[in-house]
């Protein structure tokens, strides 16, 4: 017999508090002792009763068959109807029949998905309208008061908005220094801004640490940035996280060890200094090849940096912090360098590094 189910969403009942629990496909009926303590077991038992008996006309027969009270049976039936697992068969005079759990799930999820889709469409429309107005404002608006040479923002939301406003007004180039003080997650706001502006045709150049080459998540983000049109290079050490917009203003991001915050600097001499620092590091940095995994392209630069830090007598922990790597990864690179140099001690490694001109003689 084919059962026809009314699939209209019951607005009076509203959404249930939980997603429907799939009824187990195998196993016998729950023991009656368990039904008194577990409402979910009662729902499962009543559902199986409906499947085996062909339907439920009233709560009393189901309660008697399952050893439930009338109230427990009624609550279980109501729960199954809320989850769309029981439905009135048309033309049956009120017979409640079992509904395929997959169909029940679709009946519940469909209106939720429609609402999510509607809200996403609304969000997209708002963002599209706001973006058009914001560009007009950035081009034409004239502030009544000259902006301060240095402006502070103190929380993550304000920093995010600050970056978006600065990027929206940017017409030529964005330069990014990603310090090891900022982990990949916290730097995502900056990277999203860069990807969006690169897609618009704004030149974007990013310098980050070599360690991002070995991290799968970071490597995917760098690849996405490159696909959007950004240029990415890596170095051993970046002194400070900063973003420079059009060579006229810079956003200095606070270290990760402090509360999220940033300083917007519009002092020409300071911005020029940051530009010089960026260009100096850019010339020495190693371009990222999206098809090359790990540190392969940056191996020489990384070895030189490690050799220099070893020569200066830093501990593994300090070296790891300066390189932006874990201590374990740093020690692995130290071991690889010593093996490459054929050294059995740090002192011998330092002497051989001098001979190979990895470091300058002191």
Tell me the pLDDT tens digit for each residue of 267-305. Answer: 999 999 999 999 998 988 888 765 554 444 445 666 777
The segment(s) of the chain belonging to CATH 1.10.10.10 are: 297-355
Q: What is the mean pLDDT of residues 314-325?
A: 77
Given this model, what pLDDT does residue 360 score? 54
Please give the DSSP secondary-structure letter assigned to residue 264: E
pLDDT above 70 as % of the chain: 72
Sequence-distant (≥ 6) Cβ neighbours of residue 316 within 8 angstroms:
327, 330, 331, 334
Distance between CA atoms of 2 and 10, rounded to whole angstroms? 22
pLDDT digits (tens, 9 = 90+) for 339-355: 877 777 777 777 776 66
Whose tokens are 């017409």? That residue is 171
SS3 308: helix
Residue 100: name the closest of 79, 83, 112 by CA: 83
SS3 250: strand
In 285-345, where does DSSP find H-type helix? 299-311, 316-323, 327-341
Token duo for residue 309: 């830090």
> Phi and psi dihedrals of 209, rounded to 5?
-85, 155
Distance between CA atoms of 113 and 219, rounded to whole angstroms? 33
Query: The pTM is what?
Result: 0.45
Distance between CA atoms of 314 and 149, rounded to whole angstroms? 38
Distance between CA atoms of 16 and 102, rounded to whole angstroms? 16
Residue 323: name the closest of 312, 260, 263 by CA: 312
Token duo for residue 253: 């991001």
Asked: is 150-294 a CATH 3.30.870.10 domain? The reply is: yes
Sequence-distant (≥ 6) Cβ neighbours of residue 213 within 8 angstroms:
219, 234, 288, 293, 294, 295, 297, 298
Token duo for residue 258: 């402090």
Report whether pLDDT(9) > 60.
Answer: no
Residue 249: name the closest of 234, 228, 264 by CA: 264
* Ramachandran assignment for 272, one of left (phi > 0), alpha (psi -120 to 50 degrees), beta (any other): alpha
Whose tokens are 């997603």? That residue is 19
Question: Residue 210, Cβ neighbours under 10 Å: how many?
Answer: 25
Instruction: Tell me which of 1.25.40.10, 1.10.3210.10, 1.10.10.10, 3.40.50.300 is the CATH number of domain 297-355.
Output: 1.10.10.10
Which of 295-330 are b and which e, b meaning 16 or more Cβ less than 10 Å from the residue's Cβ? bebbbebbbbbbbbbbbeeeeeeebbebbbbeeeeb
Given this model, what pLDDT does residue 233 score? 86
Given this model, what pLDDT does residue 1 score? 37
Report whether pLDDT(18) > 70.
Answer: no
Report whether pLDDT(51) > 80.
Answer: yes
pLDDT digits (tens, 9 = 90+) for 207-252: 887 776 666 566 677 777 788 888 888 887 787 888 999 998 888 8
The segment(s) of the chain belonging to CATH 3.30.870.10 are: 150-294
Token duo for residue 128: 């599209």
Residue 150: name the closest of 240, 245, 242, 252 by CA: 252
pLDDT digits (tens, 9 = 90+) for 111-162: 777 788 788 888 888 877 887 777 777 666 555 566 788 888 887 778 878 8
- The count of C-alpha atoms lying within 13 angstroms of the C-alpha of 171, restricted to the half-sphere facing its C-beta, is 4
Given this model, what pLDDT does residue 35 score? 62
């Amino acid at each position: 017999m084919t059962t026809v189910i009314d699939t209209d969403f019951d607005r009076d009942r509203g959404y249930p508090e939980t997603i429907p629990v799939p009824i187990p496909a195998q196993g016998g009926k729950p023991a009656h002792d368990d039904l008194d303590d577990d409402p979910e077991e009662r729902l499962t038992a009543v559902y199986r009763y409906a499947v085996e008996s062909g339907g439920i006309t009233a709560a009393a027969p189901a309660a008697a068959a399952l050893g439930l009270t009338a109230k427990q049976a009624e609550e279980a039936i109501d729960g199954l109807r809320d989850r769309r697992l029981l439905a009135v068969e048309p033309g049956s005079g009120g017979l409640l029949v079992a509904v395929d759990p997959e169909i029940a799930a679709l009946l519940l999820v469909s209106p939720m998905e429609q609402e999510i889709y509607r809200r996403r469409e609304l969000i997209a429309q708002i963002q599209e309208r706001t973006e058009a107005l914001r560009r007009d404002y950035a081009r034409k608006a004239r502030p009544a008061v000259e902006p301060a040479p240095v402006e502070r923002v103190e929380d993550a939301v304000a920093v995010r908005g600050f970056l978006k406003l600065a990027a929206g007004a940017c017409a030529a180039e964005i330069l990014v220094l990603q310090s090891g003080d900022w982990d990949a997650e916290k730097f995502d706001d900056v990277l999203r801004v860069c990807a969006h502006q690169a897609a618009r045709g704004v030149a974007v150049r990013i310098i980050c640490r070599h360690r991002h080459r070995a991290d799968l998540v970071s490597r995917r983000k760098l690849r996405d940035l490159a696909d959007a049109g950004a240029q990415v290079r890596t170095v051993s050490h970046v002194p400070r996280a900063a973003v420079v917009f059009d060579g006229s203003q810079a956003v200095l991001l606070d270290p990760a060890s402090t509360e999220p915050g940033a300083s917007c600097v519009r002092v020409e001499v300071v911005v020029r200094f940051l530009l010089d620092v960026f260009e100096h590091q850019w010339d020495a940095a190693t371009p990222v090849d999206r098809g090359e995994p790990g540190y392969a392209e940056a191996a020489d630069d990384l070895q030189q940096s490690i050799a220099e830090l070893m020569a200066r007598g830093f501990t593994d922990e300090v070296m790891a912090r300066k390189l932006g790597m874990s201590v374990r990864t740093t020690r692995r690179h130290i071991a690889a360098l010593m093996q490459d140099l054929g050294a059995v001690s740090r002192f011998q490694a330092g002497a051989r590094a001098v001979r190979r001109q990895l470091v300058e003689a002191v």
